[in-house]
Structure 1
């Protein structure tokens, strides 16, 4: 689907148009092959780069072909779980073009006018889009960091569900670290490639700082998850050792009377077999053996 939007400095809000005009923002969501070919022919674009905007596994980067800049960035899908989506921003001589497989959530803010975007100012429009992307990443990152801290506070009561959540958070945070790193490289290349106004350069520098802070938060939470995993492994191993110790001691205490009772169950003559107090003697002997074993375990600090 191809949509055209435009807003000039004199306009109060962005307006959707029925056809292309100079200074328009061209929003393309999940285009067909025919729409891609038409777009490539109309704006003299590189088809390979255009189709890259539909690949959700593209890393953030910036390319230039025949004076046209192709900026790939990661975005949050509408229902974020683990994987990110790709948004391609194309800066042509007359227009700014965005291509994605699904419509980003923040497009609604641009279309409704809650975030100002003057489409005739391409570089400022680019910064507006990138700022919204950074804001979404920061929101999700902070939420995950908060969840990881909550899991750390109940580390002694972690169950399988909590462990599965931590593994999912770890996967997401690793993805975010990679995305933050390559996105910051894109910002740095943009500052060298484009002639921003001084205020706009300050905004790009702020985006770089926010990206580094986001990556640092992700790494800190990854370290926390690693510490929780190590603590859980040590705790589980300790609990298992205690259980095995109890079972071993119980086996020893049970095996002693079992051996003696087994001897007296044989059909052969044995000492004190006919004595009226034989049971008392045997039971007393068992108590003495149990007490000796118990004292030995106690002295050896096994118990």
Structure 2
């Protein structure tokens, strides 16, 4: 889908239908024809438009001297569509192309990230400032999604105190996976932000530098928050793994004790049930009582020995 936006003299961003200088072109899930059209009309290398559509593309900044275009690729968080039972997140790339006359954004799916910028009425003619606004919105998206993940973690943690189920453990795994995506992408985005401070292809004014500094601060906050939540989650999963192992050990210990106490009488009864001469008379009416007493004494003796060793 191809959409073109322009900021009017009143400062309002509107969608238009024609290509003109100073406009913002947004491509979401574009077709090959749309990519070729934008590449030809805006004098942008076709690979600058195609690279951000690759989900495995890493965050980076690239400059093309022939067309005087700068490509900025950043990762931003989005809902994992493959998981229908839990709101986990992945990160996908978005491309920001700063050309001589246009600014172009490319992504393989539509996102409310850019729609929110339209509501803020950013100035599309100020291409570098607009690109920095997009980067700032991406960093703020991470902070917002991290808060949602933390709320989900707290809810799962409160439920774990009452009962432990496989679903809760799977949900914690999804949160951990989301945090891994976030941390990897935020660190890659941080490298891009650092390069923007010293790149020669983008001229930054003082206000732009201040805005870029805000982007860096928000991104670093996202990295620190993600690392904190990752450590907390690892601590929780480690603690509950220990609890599960402890409960399993208690269960096995109980079953072992039952086995021991049930085995001892069986051995006694089996011994006196053999078809051989024994010290007890076969026709003695109290022979079965004597057998029970021997079994009971043996059980009590073993029980006392285990109790002294604090086995139970």
Q: Conserved in 2, the CA contact under 8 Å of 1:77 and 1:105?
A: no
- Of 274, 287, 300 in structure 1, the residue corresponding to residue 296 of structure 2 is 287
In the other structure, the counterpart of 1:160 is 166
- Of 220, 228, 240 in structure 2, the residue corresponding to residue 220 of structure 1 is 228
Secondary structure of the equivalent of 2:252? helix
- Of 177, 180, 183 in structure 2, the residue corresponding to residue 174 of structure 1 is 180
In the other structure, the counterpart of 2:243 is 235
In the other structure, the counterpart of 1:209 is 217
Distance 2:47 2:90 in 1: 23
Secondary structure of the equivalent of 1:88? strand
Per the alignment, do residues 120 and 155 of structure 1 end up closer, same or farther by CA in structure 2, a change over 3 Å counting? Answer: same
In the other structure, the counterpart of 1:302 is 311
Distance 2:101 2:288 in 1: 106
Question: How many residues are paired up?
Answer: 300
Moved more, 268-277 or 219-228: 268-277
Q: Conserved in 2, the CA contact under 8 Å of 1:145 and 1:218?
A: no
In the other structure, the counterpart of 2:276 is 268
Per the alignment, do residues 219 and 158 of structure 1 end up closer, same or farther by CA in structure 2, a change over 3 Å counting? Answer: farther
Say whether residues 1:70 and 2:57 are aligned partners.
no
Q: Conserved in 1, the CA contact under 8 Å of 2:79 and 2:90?
A: no
Say whether residues 1:123 and 2:128 are aligned partners.
yes
Moved more, 263-272 or 208-217: 263-272
Superposition deviation, residue 215 in structure 1: 1.0
Superposition deviation, residue 131 in structure 1: 2.2
In the other structure, the counterpart of 1:49 is 48
Distance 2:207 2:98 in 1: 20
Distance 1:96 1:285 in 2: 94
Secondary structure of the equivalent of 1:196? coil
Deviations 1:26-84 (A, max 9, x none): 11122222222222222222222221011122222111012210011112336663322
The normalised TM-score by structure 2 is: 0.89
In the other structure, the counterpart of 2:85 is none
Q: Could you list the runs of 5+ residues in structure 2 that have no partner in the other structure?
A: 82-87
Distance 2:269 2:2 in 1: 89
Root-mean-square deviation (CA, aligned residues, Å) is 1.9
Superposition deviation, residue 103 in structure 1: 1.4
Moved more, 147-156 or 117-126: 147-156
Distance 1:216 1:51 in 2: 32
Moved more, 189-198 or 14-23: 189-198
Say whether residues 1:139 and 2:144 are aligned partners.
yes
Superposition deviation, residue 7 in structure 1: 0.6
Distance 1:248 1:139 in 2: 51
Distance 1:119 1:138 in 2: 25
Distance 2:176 2:94 in 1: 24
Moved more, 90-99 or 35-44: 35-44
Secondary structure of the equivalent of 1:83? strand
Moved more, 145-154 or 253-262: 145-154
